[in-house]
Structure 1
Amino acid sequence: MINYHPSIEILTDYAAGSLPLAHSLCVSTHLEHCSECQQQIRKLELLGSQFFEQTNTDNQCFGDLKDSFFANLSEQSATALDNDAAHAIAPNTTDSSWDDYKVPSSLRQFITKGYDELTWMRLSPSFKIATLYNQEGGAQVALTRIKAGAHMPTHTHTGDEITLVLEGAFSDESGVYRQGDFISRDASHKHKPMVTKDAECICLTVLDAPIEFTGWLTRLLNPLIRRYHPQT
């Protein structure tokens, strides 16, 4: 069961096509796991088409339009959805030619065969990272892979971070996160993710700015992390 989802603001920007590319990739991958957010997207698309058919989109009335849009969103019933269209959002990811893990369809442009084919940079005996995409001067899209029962070093964020659990599960001071969970962090967060003991954990991450390790030894890794981030 998925317990953590993108905010309504993120979903609205995604439905409108105004969300940055890296963040849209993370939302698309979440949608492959989450029927609830598929329905929210269909609801947003339906409301958007109704409003823009009936309302003059002049810049002077944009603020009122936005307020009215969100007010009506909360009143819409999910029965107004087209279920067939909602299901179409999530492509079928079943493919027997892939490895044991089913790589989401939205990531196959970066991962053509499986996770093992990627170039992983090992930061500790139990923790490694693979960069999928660097947006010039912007966000970094990467995978993190941590062994079962291990933890990622304690770190803070120098910008916003989105984490989507692809395989396994992990916990931190705020909760437990499983496959499909979508977690947002900002510069105020400091945490030490711990992977459950039953399986390794693979996550998709979008980083607007590099993380900062805070341990006396792991701080030595910070220059390496900054070196590979597109904003630095």
Structure 2
Amino acid sequence: MSKISHHIDELLLLDYHHRRLNAGQSLLVATHVEMCGHCRSQLRLFDAIGAALLQDMPPVAMRADALELALARIERPEEGEAPAAPVVPPYLQGIDLPETLRQTAFKKRYWAAPGVWMAHVDTPKDGKSLTYLMHVKGGMEMPVHDHHGLEMTLVLTGTFSDHNGVYRPGDCISCAEGDHHAPAIAAGEDCLCLIAALAPIAPKTLLGKLLKPFARI
């Protein structure tokens, strides 16, 4: 069953802390952490626990050249100008985005259906995973669909609901295989979400199947 939460699941947050998530999932969690003081506190707690564990470990003798070896392995940036920060695309200007997303490169926006546009994150290909923004006009309802793998959704603006409840800015929704839902956007305000999915969705209606090639999700 899909899970509604105001915060990232602790195990998922711990995976993020240990850098075990893929690029899209890491972006989503980092964006949520920027929006959520509670989850920032959780990460600080993980740091404190790690530091305490290190203090309790018995000392180990190091080689005389250990420092030199460590410094030699550090990746030093090549000389030259620092790369310019991504320019916020026109379709996102005027939207109050977290700074994490303002520093993210997005591909060109495209229309998946009337009132619905998508913009994929410009990241290296990672299996079947997809990471993208989805913007839906207020008052619309999405076709029923299932999921072929874990899909995380972070609400950025607006509100939507399904049979499990209501989702507002900052809420995180995790769906797995077998979680069928048809998100309905609240009237009066468009909804923008960041989505990180391990696999494409599985439409369950004729309309959804017809729109899938246009949606590219």
- Which residue in 2 is equivalent to 1:33? 35
The Cα offsets for residues 206-226 of structure 1, whole Å up to 9 and x where unpaired, read as 01100121111221233455x
| Equivalent-residue separation in structure 1 for 2:212 and 2:139 (angstroms) | 24
Superposition TM-score, scaled by structure 1 size: 0.70
In our comparison, the structure showing a higher alpha carbon Rg is: 2
In the alignment, the residues of structure 2 paired with residue 52 and residue 172 of structure 1 have an alpha-carbon distance, to the nearest angstrom, of 45
C-alpha deviation, 1:51, in angstroms = 1.5
Match of 1:133 among 108, 122, 127: 122
In structure 2, what residue type is equivalent to 1:130?
A
Aligned length: 180
1:40-189 aligned within 5 A: 40-55=42-57, 99-110=93-104, 119-138=108-127, 139-189=129-179
Which structure 2 residue ranges, 5 or more long, are not aligned?
59-91
Structure 1 residue 107: deviation in Å? Answer: 1.4
- Take 2:123 and 2:181, find their aligned partners in 1: how far apart are those partners? 24
Give the ranges of 4+ consecutive aligned residues of structure 1 lying more than 4 Å apart after TM superposition.
none
CA RMSD of aligned residues (A): 2.2
- Per the alignment, residue 194 of structure 1 pairs with 184
Distance 1:156 1:55 in 2: 47
Structure 2: how far apart are the matches of 1:28 and 1:144?
Answer: 18
Quick one: higher RCO (CA 8 Å, sep 6+), 1 or 2? 2
| Contact 1:163 1:203 survives alignment (8 Å) | yes
Specify which of 201, 204, 213 is matched with residue 194 of structure 2: 204
Distance 1:213 1:135 in 2: 26
Aligned amino acid, residue 137 of structure 2: K
Identity of matched residues, % = 34
* Cα distance in 1, alignment partners of residues 101 and 139 from structure 2: 26
Give the drift of 1:52: 3.0
